[in-house]
Structure 1
Amino acid sequence: MIGKMTGQSGNKCIPDEFDLRKNMGAIIDKRYIIIVITFIFVFVGLLYAFLSSPVYHADALVQVDHSGEIDMMSNISQLLPAKSPVSATEMQLVTSRAILGETVAKLNLDTEVRFISFPIIGEAIRRYSQPGVPRIAVDIFEPRRGVIGGSYTLEILSDAEYQITSPSGTTVSGMAGKILETPEFRIEVNEIHALKGDKFSVTKVETLKVIEELRANVNVIDQGKDTGILTISYNGRDRKQIKNILQTIIDCYARQSIHRKAEEAEKSLEFIKSQLPQVKNNLGIAETKLNAFRSRNNSVDLPMEAKSTLDSMVQLDGQINQLILKETEISKLYTTQHPAYLALIEKIQVLKDEKKNLNEKVSTLPLTQQEVVRLTRDVQSGQLVYMQLLNKQQELKISQASTIGSVRIIDSAVTGLKPVKPDKVLVIFIFACLGLISSVGFILAQVSLQQGIDSAEILEDIGLNVVSNVPLSEWRNDHYSHSMSDTRPVSLLALEKASDIAIEALRNLRTSLYFSMMEARSNVLMISGATPEVGKTFISSNLAVVVSQADKRVLYIDCDMRKGYAHRIFDVKNVGLTDAITGSITCQEAVQSTKIPGLDIITRGKWSKNPSELLLRKQYHDLIHWASDNYDFVILDAPPVLAVSDAVIIGRYAGISMLVAKFEQSTVREIESAIRVFNRNNIDINGVILNAVVNKPSGFYNYGKKEIYEYHSPET
């Protein structure tokens, strides 16, 4: 039943929360867009996977072992705190500027040589068309002016000849294996593995920049906790070059370890050599004093207890001397407040305290015996220290001669046959996921931003009465989508395809109107819209046809005096409403017959600057009353109410007024605003016609199963 609406939504509103069923339906609606976008991403992923340069991986295994080191601190390890894992230190040494800088110098890595190919795809085409990447070996490249970053172009002339062009434009030729010198640069190309006509760019790069690039590609991993086993790896595009780079890095690393050990031994040896003359001199003085004392006092016998005390004092002096030597070494590694240094000082103090106690025992002896003990102690202690220094000197000489370092190369550098990057399957999978996520995200964003009405339930939820859902005519859409004209379709679907589902929906509306007209104050029906382009003329014109087909006399009046085009639809002259209101013709003369029995039409007539003023004239009032008296149904096609005020005037003479909303184009706010405009002018809107409804899975998932059926006689 067609009732009244006020346009007030009350407390009801459209939910803003995430609607899973609706979004799932939208995804199914746009599944072909998702497939296309995902396919595009997969295609891009394929291009990236097969066109990007492959990255190879080289690795080597080394062992770091400090257990065999000989130094002056070897006997006080129990005094030192536990050492931090050597791996952490060695991992930093591998990527130090000293190691990488030496590698850059040995391999001439600050000379950058690049094969010049067509951007993006050129290198890939060359890589797949012939085995091996074109390359040349440049052992020497020295720009005379020290220019860093200037690009020189080297072109291959034959297997052994090339020509090089400087940034200034000077071109000279050279032979492989021979140094080429010019006033601008000096270069030596030793190997040529390229075809005639191939070109390379040769550039001198800043050394620090090359070191940073090497550091970014070198990876050092500790194989287990405190094992001292390190895996050193390097990634790059040239299989042969990355192997050479990695092998040079570990060779330099092992060599610097040997140099470091030799340098430590050399410094310790120099220290001992500097101490030997002084110790020998002190020993000579002590022996002279002892001999002189004995010659003056003949032979002095010491008791057994004094001899024991003397031996203990000599041993203590030897131990104290050893610890003092070690203090000299440990002071180079730690501060005076370090626990290791404090432990050594404490040990020395303990020995000195013991020596002090022995000196107190000696002081109880007779003076002659005290002097004998003192002089004998000086001689024996000097001899012991002297022998210790000689032994340490010999030990360090042997260590220096047999230095092997703490780094041992277990596995030399080797490069894998297959590239590690890009992983083609993974790349394609990632791009496919990105395409799927992007396309779904795009569709969900569209759904969240879309404000158009996509179901009758949305209008009903806010208290509006939807009197008819008119499906989109696929036949009409296909028939006119191929037209190149910008004008609107000017045919009547009710005549061209009477069995169309859209026309069947209008027949249902006709039935509802038949009973509603019995209770209405007049038989005049106004059909308007909130905004333009919602299909009000399509609805009103085809509704006029289906009502006339029910054996009713219908008058269709095109009240849109600005953009009405009903005269083109019905193929009649454009002489009508404007002319009748202005008095140019009578009401009867304004009416034109159509080729449809029972259906007459009044077109909009001549264009007018002030349609609203014309509609307020008495002639329009008289025309509507005359039409109502002489026809069963009078259908007024009114302009959109939010665009112009004509519909408000037209609606005053209608017994039933309806609004047309277009599926997914009209918004709830527009419909509510239009109804409020009519209500403020005491015009009741009896229902909303939802036009161009599309049967989508989103509607199925959101509101349950809603299908539109065609039901007509089979063709004979």
Structure 2
Amino acid sequence: MNTDSKNLSKSHAKSHGETDDDDIDLMALLLVLLRGWKVVVFFAVLGLLIGILYSRYVNPTFKSDALIQIEENAQGIAALGESISELVGSEASKAETEAELIRSRMILEPVVNLLHLRIQLADPNVGNIDKIKNDRTDTQLNTAEGVSLNAEDGQVQVSQFNVSQAYLNQTFTLTRTATGFVLSNGFDDFKGQIGQAHKFKGVEGQIHITVNDLPAEGYPINISKQSVKATTDAMNSVLSVVEKGKQTGIIQMSMTGDNQQQVTSVLNEIVLSYITQNQSRGSEETTKTLTFMETQIPTLKEKLESSEATFNEFRTKYGTIDVGKEAELLLGENSQIDAQLNELKLKKAELTTYYTEEHPLVIQINEQLQVLNSRKQQIDNTIAGLPEIQREFLKLSEDTAINREIYLTLLKNYEQLKIVKAGQIGFARVIDLPISTFKTIAPKKLQIMILAMLLGTMLGALLVLLKSLLRKVVKDPERLEVKTGIPVIATIPRSPLLSRLNKNKKTGARMLAHIDHNSLSYEAIKSLRTSLTFGMPKEDSAVQSAKVILITGESPGVGKSFISANLSEVFAQLNKKVLVIDADMRLGELHKMFSMSQYNGLADYLMQDNNQLTQIDNLQKDNIQKDNSQKDSDASNLGIANFIHPTTMDHIDFIPRGKHPYNPASLLMKDEFGQLMAALKSQYDYIIIDSPPVLAASDAMVLGQYADKVLMVTRYDDSIEGQLVYAVKQMNKSNIQVDGIILNDVQQGLMSKYSYHYSYAYGNKQ
């Protein structure tokens, strides 16, 4: 064995360095994806299939829309003038606030009660397969008369279903019987008549139900009563209320669901519920004002009548008194002075909070107060001089006038508000009521299928990349040489014809020379023969000694037997006598390549009695004095020939693995195997040994002691790079130098970055 190649390869790895170990080769990543195209396509098709099934499984979704305008101010009847609208306060409302109000239970609960939305019906006989098969399933329809659902064997109609708190959100089963129906919750069975209202008393409370129709006898239907909160929450989850645009005051309401008629009906009732509440809220202030006026008018009327009666009584008693002009002027001036005094006192009180009595402004106000008080005193003195009857007359006439003015004003406003209320509207008005379009908005089947296929493709690509990152498979011969320090002496392309034949399990293993002798694979085997022929160590030609080639691999399934059998065939073409030994006494299958039996082979020979085997040693000592014919005769007499079987091909003999021993490695380590090899080397030109995998057994390390060349077979795009490197290290630890690596089953094409390692067949292609 040549030990210089190891040092040369190590220096080669060192000279090239590790500069590209951590580089990200985008082209390599792309090629990884292309090589894993089957996985990517599989997941893409799987995603497409899931998308198709999902689009059929999900019920179609329908949508209804409505528009409402929110006005900033409530308007009365303009023809009545501004004075009326001033009497009723205006309420400004933002669209966002109203949107939240629409979603409240105050608006939704009346709709829930009107349409019996808390009652839920379901058909338990409809399974997942049925949903996919039918593309859509029937859903319940809620109306003011009740709830209905179309089933396979008929229709369900329930107009009333009220339960106690304990039975809320609990599923019951309705089943038609010969005499009526049965309502069951798993514990209690309640029997009733169809078309009649029933009141049942259960363990956890009362149940009120009216069933108008059911499917065929024995067909079960699930029924449940939801809580108000659960129902309104479910409505809010499919209800959208948003302002259309910015500060437009236009609210767009939309609702989605599985039934177009149901969605339109529910949304329509929500709009009407909101408008009714809005109108009630808009006239609330006017109503309160009218109520207050109605309580005050009788009181004011009574007060006016009382003041008029007193005044009339005074006039009757004293007669008509004409109050002079002077008295009227004095009274008017006195009233003005009182108003001025009150105003000045307020100003003084305000100033004294900031200034003292010595401040000029405070002093000025004090002076004005003094003047006004002086004038008021003069007027009082003048009035005091008037006759007592005149003063009483003035007082009574003034009270009567004031009471009359208040009463008439209130009565006038009351009548005006009644007119306003009759024509008053809310600040919200309906622009568009919801209508049924019967156009599905979901699922968007094409989009779902495309998206599912893309997701499947991405998942497949991710798995291929992860597999490539976690499982570094053998691909690049140059990388192998750098990693292992061992040259790749041959790359064996895959034979398409042989691959097709091997797919048929009934067909046995085939030799390339028999079925594909013009292929690139066969030419690569010949190139390997040439490399080995000129790479063998020089020995004395006077003494015949076979060249021993050990073929092993890092793991099972790399193609050792394929390489061993076909390599022996191309050596035999040179008229060389070749012996093939299947040394894998555990699972060797080399006998299938030659269509022979596995028995009466190497294991059987090594397990013979020691007395027979010692005769081989005596034969070996006498070999120098005997000719070849005599050697063959002696070997046959001692039993070696009984384990060597000629094949159907010229110049090729074969030793199968024999029966399975319990200690294959121990048999190989005995002296008997060394004696056997010494005897066989004198009879053949080449001995090719097919060894068990290095990582599976230690046999290859024992057999390597007898080999002139040790070759490691690895499979392209299948073997693990780390395992191959570890196998080479294990051989080196046993002082066995691996002389070369054979890269088997290389596939050529655009997907392979390293397709230039192929050989080219030169010859007849017919």
**Does the aligned pair in 2 maintain the 1:526–1:650 contact within 8 Å?**
yes
Deviations 1:73-120 (A, max 9, x none): 976999x9xx98610111011111011011111112112233555213
Offset at residue 483 of structure 1 (A)? 1.6
Deviations 1:223-280 (A, max 9, x none): 2333322222221222222222112111111111122233322334445566778989
Paired position in structure 2 for 1:669: 722
Offset at residue 583 of structure 1 (A)? 5.6
Q: 1:612 to 1:143 in 2, by over 3 A?
A: closer
Paired position in structure 2 for 1:482: 504
Paired position in structure 2 for 1:62: 68
Q: Distance in 2 between matches of 1:127 and 1:673?
A: 57
Is the counterpart of residue 584 in structure 1 residue 612 in structure 2?
A: yes
Q: 1:113 to 1:306 in 2, by over 3 A?
A: same
Q: 1:196 to 1:680 in 2, by over 3 A?
A: closer
Which one of 111, 120, 123 corresponds to residue 112 of structure 1? 120
Offset at residue 686 of structure 1 (A)? 1.4
Q: Which runs of 5+ in 2 are unaligned?
A: 77-81, 142-148, 202-206, 316-320, 344-364, 384-393, 621-634
**Does the aligned pair in 1 maintain the 2:158–2:210 contact within 8 Å?**
yes
Which one of 412, 435, 441 corresponds to residue 420 of structure 1? 441
Paired position in structure 1 for 2:98: 90
Paired position in structure 2 for 1:31: 37
Q: Distance in 1 between matches of 2:333 and 2:285?
A: 42
Q: Distance in 2 between matches of 1:624 and 1:356?
A: 143
Paired position in structure 2 for 1:713: 764
Q: How does 1:196-211 map to 2 (within 5 A)?
A: 200-211=221-232
Offset at residue 623 of structure 1 (A)? 3.8
Which one of 553, 558, 567 corresponds to residue 577 of structure 2? 553
Offset at residue 629 of structure 1 (A)? 4.2
Is the counterpart of residue 300 in structure 1 residue 327 in structure 2?
A: yes
Paired position in structure 1 for 2:632: none
Q: Distance in 1 between matches of 2:93 and 2:479?
A: 70
Q: Distance in 1 between matches of 2:733 and 2:334?
A: 131
Is the counterpart of residue 544 in structure 1 residue 554 in structure 2?
A: no
Offset at residue 391 of structure 1 (A)? 5.3
**Does the aligned pair in 2 maintain the 1:13–1:461 contact within 8 Å?**
no
Which one of 160, 168, 171 corresponds to residue 140 of structure 1? 160
The amino acid of 2:5's aligned partner reads K
Paired position in structure 2 for 1:367: 377
Offset at residue 468 of structure 1 (A)? 0.7
Is the counterpart of residue 498 in structure 1 residue 549 in structure 2?
A: no
Is 122-131 or 54-63 further displaced after alignment? 122-131
Q: 1:704 to 1:501 in 2, by over 3 A?
A: closer
Offset at residue 364 of structure 1 (A)? 5.4
For residue 549 of structure 2, give the secondary structure of its aligned residue in structure 1.
strand
**Does the aligned pair in 2 maintain the 1:558–1:577 contact within 8 Å?**
no
The amino acid of 1:530's aligned partner reads E
Offset at residue 282 of structure 1 (A)? 10
Q: How does 1:234-313 map to 2 (within 5 A)?
A: 234-271=255-292, 299-300=326-327, 302=329, 306=333, 309=336
Is the counterpart of residue 656 in structure 1 residue 662 in structure 2?
A: no
**Does the aligned pair in 1 maintain the 2:172–2:183 contact within 8 Å?**
no
Offset at residue 130 of structure 1 (A)? 11
Q: Distance in 2 between matches of 1:55 and 1:595?
A: 74
The amino acid of 1:556's aligned partner reads V
Paired position in structure 1 for 2:109: 101
Paired position in structure 2 for 1:432: 453
Paired position in structure 2 for 1:473: 495
Paired position in structure 2 for 1:516: 535
Q: How does 1:141-220 map to 2 (within 5 A)?
A: 141-143=161-163, 147-148=167-168, 149-153=170-174, 155=176, 163=181, 165-167=183-185, 168-175=188-195, 179-183=196-200, 185-188=207-210, 200-220=221-241
Paired position in structure 1 for 2:5: 4
For residue 433 of structure 2, give the secondary structure of its aligned residue in structure 1.
strand
Q: Distance in 2 between matches of 1:555 and 1:596?
A: 12
Offset at residue 604 of structure 1 (A)? 4.4
Offset at residue 57 of structure 1 (A)? 1.2
Q: Distance in 1 between matches of 2:93 and 2:722?
A: 72
**Does the aligned pair in 2 maintain the 1:29–1:697 contact within 8 Å?**
no
**Does the aligned pair in 1 maintain the 2:33–2:461 contact within 8 Å?**
yes
The amino acid of 1:527's aligned partner reads I
RMSD of aligned Cα (Å): 4.8
Is 27-36 or 454-463 further displaced after alignment? 27-36
Is the counterpart of residue 631 in structure 1 residue 684 in structure 2?
A: yes
Q: 1:48 to 1:526 in 2, by over 3 A?
A: closer
Deviations 1:7-48 (A, max 9, x none): 866553873554432332333334344344333332332333
**Does the aligned pair in 2 maintain the 1:64–1:407 contact within 8 Å?**
yes
Q: 1:85 to 1:19 in 2, by over 3 A?
A: farther
The amino acid of 1:482's aligned partner reads N
How many pairs does the alignment contain?
A: 660
Q: Distance in 1 between matches of 2:499 and 2:166?
A: 73
**Does the aligned pair in 1 maintain the 2:88–2:286 contact within 8 Å?**
no
Is 567-576 or 405-414 further displaced after alignment? 567-576
The amino acid of 1:574's aligned partner reads N
For residue 600 of structure 1, give the secondary structure of its aligned residue in structure 2.
strand
For residue 657 of structure 1, give the secondary structure of its aligned residue in structure 2.
strand
Q: 1:39 to 1:156 in 2, by over 3 A?
A: farther
The amino acid of 2:162's aligned partner reads E
The amino acid of 1:548's aligned partner reads A
The amino acid of 2:499's aligned partner reads N
Paired position in structure 2 for 1:443: 464
Paired position in structure 2 for 1:335: none
Is 226-235 or 641-650 further displaced after alignment? 641-650
Q: 1:203 to 1:552 in 2, by over 3 A?
A: same
Is 87-96 or 255-264 further displaced after alignment? 255-264
**Does the aligned pair in 2 maintain the 1:4–1:687 contact within 8 Å?**
no
**Does the aligned pair in 2 maintain the 1:567–1:574 contact within 8 Å?**
no
Q: Distance in 2 between matches of 1:221 and 1:24?
A: 47
Q: Distance in 2 between matches of 1:356 and 1:152?
A: 92
For residue 729 of structure 2, give the secondary structure of its aligned residue in structure 1.
helix
Q: Which runs of 5+ in 1 are unaligned?
A: 317-354
